[in-house]
Amino acid sequence: MISAAFNFLGELFPRIEASEKTLSATDAFKQKLSEGMERGVDGSLKMTIAFPDEKALDNLANTLAQMVGSTTTDNS
């Protein structure tokens, strides 16, 4: 489900052609993100995220909701 959420977030932004700068940034993000992951015996990756408190989780959820809300239309 998280993978689908990140794929969705990626669709919110315009596609830019890969450049040395974007490839370098992608590699740097992947390296840092990999540091917090464990690989399962089936090859899957597990990421554990620690938040300092409930407020941090509230802020993340609110930000994601606003991102989704700004890209959808209300058809009610």
Percent of the chain exceeding pLDDT 70 equals: 86
- Is the pLDDT confidence value at 2 over 70? no
How does residue 10 score in pLDDT terms, banded at 50, 70 and 90? confident
Give tens-digit pLDDT for 20-63.
888 898 899 899 888 889 999 999 999 888 889 999 888 888 88
pLDDT at 69 (0 to 100) = 67
Domain extents in the chain: 34-70
**Residue 42 — φ and ψ, nearest 5°?**
-90, 5
CB-based burial, 9-40: b 16+ in 10 Å, e otherwise: eeeeeeeeeeeeeeeeeeeeeeeeeeeeeeee
- Which residues have a Cβ under 8 Å from the Cβ of 67 and sit 6 or more positions away? 9, 12
